[in-house]
Structure 1
Amino acid sequence: MTKTGFVIANLFRKKTRTTLTLLSIIVAFVLFGLLQSLNHIFDAGADFIGATRLMTQARVSFTQPLPLSMLPKIESVPGIARVAHMQWFGGVWQENTQLFVFAVDPQRQHDVYPEWVMPEAQWKAFATTRTAMVAGRQIADQYGWKVGQKIPISSQIYPQKNGSKAWAFDLVGIYDGKDADWQKQTNTVFINHDYFDEANQFGAGRTNFFALKLAKGASAEAVSHAVDAMSENSPDETKTQTEKDFNVGFIKQIGDIGMIVRWILFAVFFTLLLVVGNTMAQSVRERVPELAVLKTLGFSDGSVLGFVLAEAVALCLIGGLIGMSLATLLGAMVEKGSGGQFALNVTPWVWMTGLIAIALMSLAVGLLPALRARRLKIVDALAGR
């Protein structure tokens, strides 16, 4: 038997224990790969390569409104073909079901987002009906909404002028995506901004952000800088970024994602070290007489140490590589499912970090049992002392 075969045979002598430990390592590294990729997204800088739309919001936060009077100025910037605007509504369906609801200008929304497809008659009804709303196919199917219904939606943020937060809208259209990727994103409701602007208690003429459709051949980075320069040192300074970066920033509003990720990974790996360390320590305790026999047969202390340490490395390496591979596959599925808007890529940088984590964990769980095996005295071990 080769030395490698000897290590593998010892590793799987207790198949159930080893399998369960491997599963723990695999799950831990799946989480590690995905969470590190998530953290990398939030830490990454702006990426304007290949962008066809930009999003302009207030520099401080998208929750801070911007004046609608900025729209014609933004639309006059060279390289911008059309501008839409969106106001976060804070919608709630029935008692406590959160909805993604935005107040928009129907025609501008249609022009800037050709990926949303709907019969022209429904687009016209959206533009001409004061209390109109359109819903994505996914959300309409989920709640059984049909065109022609009156849909009651409450707002967590905007009461009407009479003080009521209960609004009612006429569902005049159901839009879908132009392809399979966009069809997976049809979970948003759009309401007519003119009606919202007139009826809400907090006043008119404001919006949360602008969507900028770039002209063909325009430089996204140059347009971004030009738009932000227009409001520099004014009360309404802006921050312009790609849709992808905007979506990431939208998620970051819930808190410090990086810190959350780090604490989750700390808890996962602390628990994993205890589990794998206990497995290795127990494995060495069970084989003390066998290790003594190896020394009797002429294997040096260093060789015995190497065998035990190799078991720890093999265990962590197999589980870690499988876990990182699964994380890569799941990340690609998330990216495809989000239409590329949420690129959860397990990059080479994440893989390199994962390999370092595998090496450190192997040493952490294998070094103490290996040193114990190295220090074994043949007589004491064979005597069971």
Structure 2
Amino acid sequence: MKYFPLIWAGLWRKKARTIFTMLSIVVAFLLFGLLQGINQGFNQAVQNLNVDRLYTSAKTNMTDGLPYAYAARIKGVQGVRAVSHWTYFGGYYQESKNVIPAFSTDAEALFQVYRELTIKPEYLEAMKRTRTGALVGEKLAQQYHWKIGDRVPIGTSIWTDKQGSNTWQFDIVGTFEVPSAGMPSFYFNHDYFDEAAAFGNGVVHYYIVGIDSPTNATRISKEIDAMFENSTNETRTQTESAMMQMQLKQIGDINFIANSIVGAVLFTLLFLTANTMMQSVRERTSELAVLKTFGFSDGKVLGLVLTEAFLLCLFSAALGLVLAGLVFPALKPIFGDFKMPLVVVAMGAALAMLLALVSGLPPAWRARQLNIVDALAGR
């Protein structure tokens, strides 16, 4: 610590240059934290998906749909304990930016498949009795201040009813509790939707299949697909994690995109930081020679310059990662309830140390090799 004033003075010798270099590092690690945080968040979400659920969709495309009559045949496969279905509604509340994850479904069967969802039995009974009933995740209800008994209009970007309207009226009959990583969905009766919709009747987008054991997933998937092979509506059955990975790939290879952007930014940053450190040492050649004259060893001079690089990089990187962590809650409406994974913080710290080492070692080694006579003579 007794050498800290020397390090600090060297770091702030050119204040403007140091500030702009720090800002560059902060922005780079802010970007790194956000991109890698989202990437790791998606990976963790996929890994944490349930292993005793299968999803059956049309082999060609999910939006092509499957006949409603498939449910009974799928339920007859050995090892299947419950079958429900989803039809994506493309919903929004009041304005199109207020996206609502709304699905028509068979609610009673759905909650048998999704055993992690908690709902009171009386709410399921109310759903059966209410043709226009809807069950809403508690967080979603709190977000829009909905309560049981409210009649809410939900718009859709896809479906119109037989009167030509794309605004549907639903009566909230109950709420359910969703795990922290789950989606706070809006479920309504498929019978009502199928009867009132102007098109797409008699089909569903997904069958969600609850199975008795994850070890039977491959066998059950093959049996389901074999039942409808060579029919006009062939199926693709896959596990929950496989389905999520397929949907993410339709958006793009998030891992490749994140790594490519971060790699390009850090590669550019490496040259910027190395140039800053090299220029700083070049300007202080005579000062470093004086330190050697006063008895500072070659190794001590190397250590001073290298510590300066580490202080610059680690402090700026830490600030960037902290800012990324603070920005994450603002991304919740887009990416869900992600938090900054600790692995991203560890990766950021390792990258910052590597950046400091690679950018600081060449000028530090040059300072170590300084010849006192030549340096003081300006040669």
Residue 230 of structure 1, CA deviation: 4.0
Q: TM-score, normalised by structure 1?
A: 0.73
Q: Indicate which of 175, 185, 189 corresponds to 1:192.
A: 189
Describe the shift of the 1:10–1:66 C-alpha distance in structure 2 as closer, same or farther (beyond 3 A). Answer: farther
Whether the 8 Å CA contact 2:161–2:198 is kept in 1: the answer is yes
Whether the 8 Å CA contact 1:67–1:205 is kept in 2: the answer is yes
Residue 152 of structure 1, CA deviation: 1.0
Describe the shift of the 1:53–1:239 C-alpha distance in structure 2 as closer, same or farther (beyond 3 A). Answer: closer
Q: Which piece of structure 1 moves more, 298-307 or 149-158?
A: 298-307
Map of 2:372 onto structure 1: 378
Q: Which piece of structure 1 moves more, 82-91 or 294-303?
A: 294-303
In structure 1, what is the Cα distance between the partners aligned to 2:226 and 2:317?
48
Residue 327 of structure 1, CA deviation: 9.4
Describe the shift of the 1:146–1:222 C-alpha distance in structure 2 as closer, same or farther (beyond 3 A). Answer: same
In structure 2, what is the Cα distance between the partners aligned to 1:10 and 1:61?
66
Whether the 8 Å CA contact 1:228–1:239 is kept in 2: the answer is yes
In structure 2, what is the Cα distance between the partners aligned to 1:59 and 1:221?
17
Map of 2:74 onto structure 1: 74
In structure 1, what is the Cα distance between the partners aligned to 2:61 and 2:323?
35
Describe the shift of the 1:22–1:60 C-alpha distance in structure 2 as closer, same or farther (beyond 3 A). Answer: farther
Alignment deviations for residues 279-311 of structure 1 (CA, whole Å, 9 cap, x no partner): 524542453223213444677878755653465
Q: Which piece of structure 1 moves more, 355-364 or 89-98?
A: 355-364
Residue 155 of structure 1, CA deviation: 0.8
Once the two structures are superposed, the pairs formed by residues 175-186 of structure 1 within 5 Å of their partners are: 175-177=175-177, 182=179, 185=182
In structure 1, what is the Cα distance between the partners aligned to 2:308 and 2:206?
56
Describe the shift of the 1:10–1:220 C-alpha distance in structure 2 as closer, same or farther (beyond 3 A). Answer: farther
In structure 2, what is the Cα distance between the partners aligned to 1:222 and 1:10?
69
In structure 1, what is the Cα distance between the partners aligned to 2:182 and 2:160?
28
Say whether 1:291 aligns with 2:288.
Answer: yes
Alignment deviations for residues 159-216 of structure 1 (CA, whole Å, 9 cap, x no partner): 1233321211222x23222xxx626746211111111112222222211212221225
Q: Which amino acid aligns with 2:287?
A: E
Q: Which amino acid aligns with 1:135?
A: V
Fraction of identical pairs, as percent: 40
Whether the 8 Å CA contact 1:25–1:316 is kept in 2: the answer is yes
Alignment deviations for residues 346-371 of structure 1 (CA, whole Å, 9 cap, x no partner): 66xx7997687456523542244335
Tell me the SS of whatever aligns to 1:110.
helix
Map of 2:131 onto structure 1: 130
Describe the shift of the 1:48–1:118 C-alpha distance in structure 2 as closer, same or farther (beyond 3 A). Answer: closer
Tell me the SS of whatever aligns to 2:163.
coil
Alignment deviations for residues 136-162 of structure 1 (CA, whole Å, 9 cap, x no partner): 111112212222222111110111233
Once the two structures are superposed, the pairs formed by residues 228-243 of structure 1 within 5 Å of their partners are: 228-232=225-229, 235-242=233-240
In structure 1, what is the Cα distance between the partners aligned to 2:361 and 2:190?
65
CA root-mean-square deviation: 4.5
Map of 2:159 onto structure 1: 158
In structure 2, what is the Cα distance between the partners aligned to 1:322 and 1:51?
39
- In structure 2, runs of 5+ residues without a counterpart are none
Residue 39 of structure 1, CA deviation: 4.2
Map of 2:113 onto structure 1: 112
Q: Which amino acid aligns with 1:75?
A: K
Q: Which amino acid aligns with 1:370?
A: A
Map of 1:202 onto structure 2: 199
Residue 240 of structure 1, CA deviation: 0.8
In structure 2, what is the Cα distance between the partners aligned to 1:119 and 1:64?
34
Q: TM-score, normalised by structure 2?
A: 0.74
Whether the 8 Å CA contact 1:34–1:346 is kept in 2: the answer is no
Residue 100 of structure 1, CA deviation: 0.5
In structure 2, what is the Cα distance between the partners aligned to 1:162 and 1:104?
22
Say whether 1:98 aligns with 2:92.
Answer: no
Whether the 8 Å CA contact 1:42–1:258 is kept in 2: the answer is no
Whether the 8 Å CA contact 1:295–1:301 is kept in 2: the answer is yes
Say whether 1:213 aligns with 2:210.
Answer: yes
Whether the 8 Å CA contact 1:312–1:366 is kept in 2: the answer is yes
Describe the shift of the 1:150–1:124 C-alpha distance in structure 2 as closer, same or farther (beyond 3 A). Answer: same
Map of 1:55 onto structure 2: 55
Say whether 1:147 aligns with 2:153.
Answer: no
Describe the shift of the 1:202–1:357 C-alpha distance in structure 2 as closer, same or farther (beyond 3 A). Answer: same
Whether the 8 Å CA contact 2:136–2:186 is kept in 1: the answer is yes
Q: Which piece of structure 1 moves more, 152-161 or 209-218?
A: 209-218
Whether the 8 Å CA contact 1:21–1:279 is kept in 2: the answer is yes
Alignment deviations for residues 98-121 of structure 1 (CA, whole Å, 9 cap, x no partner): 110000012212322243333333
Tell me the SS of whatever aligns to 2:148.
coil
Residue 85 of structure 1, CA deviation: 0.4
- In structure 1, runs of 5+ residues without a counterpart are none
Q: Which piece of structure 1 moves more, 188-197 or 284-293?
A: 284-293
Q: Which amino acid aligns with 1:143?
A: Y
Describe the shift of the 1:10–1:127 C-alpha distance in structure 2 as closer, same or farther (beyond 3 A). Answer: farther
